[in-house]
Amino acid sequence: MRLFKLAGLSLFAGAAALIADFSNGALTAGALAQTPVTLDQVLQAVRTERTQVTAENRQREQEFLQRRNQQQAELNRVRAQVAAAEAESTRLEGVMEANQDIIADLDAELASKQGEFQELFGAARSAAADLNAQVGSSIISTEYPGRGPGLQELAQTEKLPTEAQLRDLWDAMIQEIAEQAKTSTYDAPVIRADGQAAQERVTRIGPFVIFSGGRYLTYSGGALQFLARQPPGDVTAAASRVERATGDGFVKGAIDPSLGTLLDLSVQAPTLRERIDQGGEVGYTIIVAALLAMLLGVYKWVTLSMTAGAVRSQMRRKKPSKANPLGRVMLAYEGASSGDVEAVALKLDDAVLKEVPRLEGGLNLVKVVAAVAPLLGLLGTVVGMIQTFQAITLFGTGDPQIMASGISKALVTTVLGLVSAIPLLLLHAFASGASKRVTQILEEQAAGIIAEHAEGSRR
């Protein structure tokens, strides 16, 4: 058994030596042919290797202990800093509590010394804040600039207002009240379309409106600028009249009691062209069809009125003329006057029937367009509501402007359909009445001619 262990150890040592030589790159084909390694050599190699490993482990352990000691020292230093900071924090908290007690005592002393003046000064600060907000958006500030900083300082101060500040507040309030009842003309900087400011002669009516050269201005961000779109002509004409006023008598002008809100809304309101554009393709179709039908209806009404006048004029003349329906009927009678009564009646009926299509031609088209226009408006309404529901499906109901396009289209097309149908129906009624009157005259005259012819035949 002992020999077996030694042999195994020898084999193990030899394999270890071979592996070590291989790892060092010293194993070659010639090394296999050298003398075999003894057990003493293997033992010596193992001891040498163990000594080296032990030295390396001892060095690593020393390095580890050294780093641990350094970290412990750093930890102790940080703990000392934390303890010092906590002590400082505790000290500062004590100082803060002491200061708060002092502040509370001083506040109580101040309140007791102020007495009723505290409420008075609070009311003054509140009034200054309200007046500052009013002055900041008032067009009166374009004539009297620089009133805001003093009011803002008084509104935000934590100290008791001075006598000068209270007097300035009083003066600013009285000035604002007095200027609200005045119409004033003065020079003020106005921002033009190119973004540059220039001095313009402006006219102000109280705090309500301000204009220059008949064009209205808006006051925003501490600067005057012309409205992007001016109000209707009667409003701008009123501004021009006020600017030209000499001071004698009264001049009719226009004011905005909402201090600019109504004026901005009127400017933002869409024009007639913009409203028509909201109708889209359906709206354009209604307008084109209505215009064509209206032109045709007016033409027929005028021509029928002229024809009725020519027929009444022909009734007073014995000589027939081809230029009017009654003259053509009379000429038809002259061509058939030699026949019997039935033949003459048939000839005249045929002549009258030939005139009826000329008189009624085109009226049916006017009537059809008058009936179709509301249907097209209903079509536009349905299309607009479909667009509205699609917008609601995609974006929800959070923003009404998303739905405004479809709703505008629905309403505008409905209005266009009704506006087109109503005058077309009236026009068709007038033109159709004129046609029926002319036809009735022709039938009456034809009946009279037949009666005269029958009476003459009996004689």
Instruction: State pLDDT tens for residues 147-171.
Output: 888 888 888 887 778 888 888 888 9
Residue 191 banded pLDDT, cuts 50, 70, 90? confident
Contacts of 379 (CB under 8 A, 6+ apart): 282, 413
Q: Is the pLDDT of residue 36 over 80?
A: no
- Tell me the mean pLDDT in the region 416-422: 92
Residue for token pair 């929800």: 396
What pTM value is reported for the model?
0.54
Phi first, then psi: give them for residue 223, nearest 5 degrees: -140, 150
Give the Cα separation of 320 and 421 in Å (integer).
40
Phi first, then psi: give them for residue 186, nearest 5 degrees: -160, 175
Give the Cα separation of 352 and 325 in Å (integer).
8
Q: What is the DSSP string of 358-402?
A: HHHTTHHHHHHHHHHHHHHHHHHHHHHHHHHHHHHHHHTTS-HHH
Name the 3-class secondary structure at 64.
helix
Give the Cα separation of 287 and 293 in Å (integer).
10
| Tens digits of residue pLDDT in 323-379 | 888 888 888 877 766 667 778 788 888 888 888 888 888 888 999 999 999 999 999
What pLDDT score does 424 carry? 92
